[in-house]
Chain A
Amino acid sequence: MYRILEKQVLSDVTKLMVVEAPQVARKARAGQFVIVINDEHGERIPLTIADFDREAGTITLIFQEVGKSTMQMGAKEVGDTFLTVAGPLGHPTEIEQYGTVACVGGGVGIAPLYPIARALHQAGNHVISIIGARTQSLLFWEDKMAAVSDEMIVCTDDGSYKRKALVTEPLKELLEARGGEIARVWAIGPAIMMKFVSLTTKPYQVPTIVSLNTIMIDGTGMCGGCRVLLEEGAQFVCVDGPEFDGHKVNWDNLLARQAFYREEERAAVERWQHECRLDKVLEGGA
């Protein structure tokens, strides 16, 4: 059992949890992920590691409540446990001194981007971070990102906070103005954002690393459900990734595959919300 030691509500739908998982913390590196299971009936949920503390034996998870399983995760409190926290899985980010790099994070993607930006910063890179979200309430960790960035741009889609723009806009300006300077770009966020970041950087031929979060079960190469089409053929996100060259990813196939269980996901959410309402009614009656 893996105990929750700390919980922060970053927005209505974004939660942070510090979880006891010493065997994962001991090995975790930026860019890797874990598989989390809520309980005996739970599914295996892949989540990128947002932070880790080897000494305390803890890892930090940040997740957005988008489906039944993440809603159930979010309903857990300090002291509650997860059935499984297994990892660290996938290849860690290749950290080198590249020179000037751009780290682009969208929404909940800011969480896995943070340890990468931090490691790049520690390795002596000049880190330019561009973070954004749909609206102000979905933004978090601006301060933490600022602490590991040499330059930072913050934007929201609706203009409710700082610059009103999609992250691709300041990125394009940056490439236009200082294109030769940027050695590499990391982009983590919704698939659609990563697609457009990759399209934005492609004409400038700046290597662009994306971290994919596809549907998967075991996370160890066993099911192949996570396979992504690259120029050179299909690869598994769990063992060949999760980071890939964004210019080689077949994004339309990736987006279609993510939608495969949409109907089932919707049914599961409805059922969960119905159960929660029933619980409330029963509590009220008691």
Chain B
Amino acid sequence: MAALTQRERLAIPRQEMPTQDPQVRRTNFNEVALGFSQELALREADRCLQCAVPHCVEGCPVGVLIPQFIKALREGDLTGAVAAMKVKNGLPAICGRVCPQETQCEARCVLGKKGEPVAIGRLERFVGDFELAGRTCPLVRTPSTGKRVAIVGSGPAGLTCAVEMGRLGHQVVIFESLHKAGGVLTYGIPEFRLPKSVVNGEIDYAMECLGIEIRTDHIIGRTLTMRELLSEFDAVFIGSGAGLPSFMNIPGINYNGVMSANEFLTRVNLMKGYQFPEYDTPVKVGKRVAVIGAGNVAMDAARCSLRLQALRAAQSGEEAGEVHIVYRRSHEEVPARAEEVHHAEEEGVIFDFLTNPVEILGTEKGQVCGMRCIRMALGEPDSSGRRRPVPIEGSEFEMEVDTVIMALGTSPNPLVFVDAEELERTRHGTVVADAATMRTRMARVWAGGDVVTGAATVVSAMGAGKVAAADMQRYLEHGGEW
């Protein structure tokens, strides 16, 4: 078959991702996006123009060889596509699902200038899933260097740094505080966006190939300290994330039914609370749930709440209830990915914009029963460039709710800094690290991901893990001043 002409490629529409119907999926925890079939994937791959200067790659924090993997894919060489993918990214099935491609690679795609960009993320996922099932192209480790590298945290930053250092022949040990690996991929992102079988499958595969050991139940700062790690390892990378939840400073936050999104999502995802009593950890939401905040975590919490309500309704025969997102700014300023907001809307989450809680109300027994809120208006832009929300005087009103989930952002867990005073930190509690090398102020210690930036994305954390690994390798080979 002759190759397509450019005109023919341009004529192919962007292939839609098959998804579960919104009315069905809001009642289960199965994955929403079902993935491309091979036919859809090849058709989408045919849209790529193979630009001489591929801007898409510039948009990728880990620099995936996008034109190369797409070329192999459309030639039907799936193993070749995996091989091209793995040059830069050891975790494609995860990235293909959770990267904000619309602001990264796909935002730079030349096709996006006039029409719709190539669905790079969907293709990445297709290639990742193919490899997860077939294991055709294992990561390879170069001969052992005899150097030992410790990684603190098994989330996206730590895993990426571990994979890079493992490939280079170093002996890598990852220390994870929880009982399961994956960090936010495991405790934070719900099953319906990122199935845990994908997370475990991709991590296990990479760790097996590279002989990387994951020691769970190790809390750095308590079980072991940074100083102890440095006495046993040649280099240490901190990718401990931003795990500390924030609560609003308003009255009533300790009523029963008020929780952090971290607690709620950990109960649901890590502990499988939605399968209680099959699993021992309970999780419950009432009939009127308010999620405060409008980031990706808020969308996850809202969509998990809908599903828990539906599961309960199916058992009891009662009405499911309502889930509200309460956000002090307007639709335009919503920080969550457009796709997540769209999915939440489709599933029936109600958005209350320009609304801010000022007090949580409770019953005599200590159970939350409502929120006193105030309407907001948008004023002048603040330091973040977004228009500052200003309370409208006299606009207070009460909202009936029985569950309040606070999704207001997170900050780094300070435990890791116990006995490591040299690790300089900002006033936000994040670690100071050089952007070009990810070196901290403590010798032989690198850091990256949310612990440095504050809560951000999975792939930016992976990018930081990669940058740190490159500099760590230079340091292990050549030494030099810190």
Q: List 9 A-B contacts (CB under 8 A).
A: A38-B280, A87-B222, A218-B177, A220-B219, A220-B415, A223-B245, A234-B247, A234-B253, A239-B415
The interface residues of chain B lying within 8 Å CB-to-CB of A38 are 280
| Contact present for B256 and A42 (CB under 8 Å) | no
Find chain B residues with CB under 8 A from A87 CB.
219, 222-223
Q: Is B296 an interface residue (CB 8 A)?
A: no
Complex CA–CA separation, A158 to B76 (angstroms): 80
Q: CA of A84 to CA of B367 in the docked complex: distance in angstroms? A: 32
Q: Which of A24, A69, A218 has the most CB of B within 10 A?
A: A218
Binding site for A on B (CB under 8 A): 177-179, 187, 216-219, 222-224, 243-245, 247, 253-254, 256-257, 259-260, 262-263, 266-267, 270-272, 276-282, 284, 365-367, 413-415
| The residue from A41, A86, A224, A253 contacting B279, defined by CB atoms under 8 A apart | A41
CB of B480 to closest CB in A, whole Å? 33
Contacts of B222 in A (CB 8 A): 27, 87-89, 220
**In the bound complex, do residue B263 and residue A224 qualify as a contact, i.e. CB atoms below 8 Å apart?**
yes
A169 at the interface (CB under 8 A from B): no
Which chain A residue lies CB-closest to B273?
A43
Within 8 A of B (CB), among A246-286: 250, 252-253, 256-257, 259-261, 264-265, 267-268, 271
Encode A200-243 as 1/0 by CB contact (under 8 A) with B: 00000000000000000110111111011100001000010000
Q: Are the CB atoms of A257 and B366 closer together than 8 Å?
A: yes
Q: Say whether B216 contacts A224, CB under 8 Å.
A: no
Known: A23-B223, A43-B271, A89-B222. A218 touches B178 (CB 8 A): yes
Q: Which 6 interchain pairs have the tightest Cβ spacing? A: A256-B366, A223-B263, A264-B282, A86-B217, A43-B280, A43-B281
Asked if A56 CB lies within 8 Å of chain B CBs, one says no
- Asked if A86 and B219 sit within 8 Å, CB to CB, the answer is yes
Q: From DSSP, what is the main secondary structure of chain B's interface residues? A: loop
Chain A's closest residue to B245 (CB) is A224
Contact partners of B278 in chain A: CB under 8 A: 41
Closest to B260 in A: A224
A126 contacts partner chain B, Cβ-Cβ < 8 Å: no
Pairwise interchain contact B260-A84, C-beta atoms closer than 8 A: no
Q: Does A85 contact B (CB under 8 A)?
A: yes
Are the C-beta atoms of B245 and A222 separated by less than 8 Å? yes
Cβ-defined contact, A223 with B217, below 8 A: no
A66 within 8 A of B: no
Q: Which chain A residues border B254 with CB–CB below 8 Å?
A: 227-229, 234, 250, 253, 257
Tell whether A16 is near chain B: CB-to-CB under 8 Å.
no
- Given that A43-B281, A223-B262, A264-B276 are contacting pairs, would A89 and B219 also be in contact in the complex, using a CB cutoff of 8 Å? yes
Residue of A24, A41, A223, A225 near B280 (CB, 8 A) is A41
Measured CA separation A265–B224 after assembly (Å): 34
Most chain A beta-carbon neighbours within 10 Å: one of B260, B263, B272, B278? B263
Distance in Å: Cβ of B428 to nearest Cβ of chain A: 16
A68 — nearest CB in chain B belongs to which residue?
Answer: B280
Question: Total interface residues on A, using CB and 8 Å?
Answer: 44
CA distance A27 to B187 in the complex (A): 27
Does the CB pair B366–A222 fall under 8 Å? no
Contact A221 B243 (CB under 8 A): yes
- Known contacts A86-B219, A87-B223, A257-B366; A267/B277 CB under 8 A: yes
- Complex contacts, A37 vs chain B, CB 8 Å: 179
Partner of B415, one of A43, A44, A221, A225: A221
B243–A268 touching, CB < 8 Å: no
Closest CB in chain B relative to A38 CB, distance in Å: 8
- Whether the pair A225, B263 counts as a contact (CB closer than 8 A) is yes
Q: Is the CB of A84 within 8 A of B280?
A: no
- Cβ–Cβ contact A268 & B277, under 8 A: yes
Most buried by A among B276, B281, B284: B281
How far, in angstroms, from A135 to B107 measured CA to CA in the complex?
70
- Kindly state whether residue A78 has any CB partner on chain B within 8 Å: no
- A83 in the interface (beta carbon within 8 A): yes
Instruction: Decide: A218 and B266 in contact? CB cutoff 8 A.
Output: yes
Determine if B179 and A83 form an interchain contact, defined as CB atoms under 8 angstroms apart.
Answer: yes
Measured CB to CB, the nearest residue on chain B to A86 is B217
- Tell me whether A256 and B217 are in contact in the complex, defined as CB-CB below 8 angstroms, given that A217-B263, A222-B262, A223-B262 are known contacts: no
CA distance A200 to B240 in the complex (A): 43
For B216, B219, B267, B279, which residue has the most chain A Cβ atoms within 10 angstroms? B219
- Residues of A contacting B224 in the complex (Cβ-Cβ under 8 angstroms): 23
Beyond the given A41-B278, A87-B223, A223-B245, please list 11 additional residue pairs across the A-B interface where CB-CB is below 8 A.
A23-B223, A41-B272, A42-B280, A68-B277, A69-B280, A217-B266, A220-B177, A220-B413, A222-B266, A227-B254, A256-B367
A243 to chain B, nearest CB (A): 16
Contact check, A264 vs B243: say whether CB atoms are below 8 A apart: no
Residues from chain A with Cβ under 8 Å of B263 in the complex: 217, 223-225
Among A23, A41, A225, which residue has its beta carbon within 8 angstroms of that of B259? Answer: A225
How far apart are the CA atoms of A253 and B415 in the complex, in Å? 27
- In-complex Cβ contact of B413 among A221, A260, A265 (8 A): A221
Q: How far is the CB of B413 from chain A (nearest CB, A)?
A: 5
Q: Which residue of A42, A89, A223 has the most chain B CB atoms within 10 A of its CB atom? A: A223
Instruction: Name the CB-closest residue of A to B364.
Output: A256
A113-136 at interface with B (beta carbon < 8 Å): none
The smallest C-beta distance from B192 to any residue of chain A, in angstroms, reads 21
B217 shortest CB reach to chain A, Å: 4
A43–B272 CA distance with the chains assembled, in angstroms: 10
CA gap between A223 and B413 in the complex, in Å: 11
On chain B, the residues within 8 Å of A229 by CB distance are: 254
B178 / chain A contacts, CB cutoff of 8 Å? 218
Residues from chain B with Cβ under 8 Å of A260 in the complex: 256-257
> Closest approach, in angstroms, between the C-beta of B427 and any C-beta of chain A?
18
CB pair A86–B366 under 8 Å, yes or no, is no
Closest-by-CB residue of B relative to A223 is B263
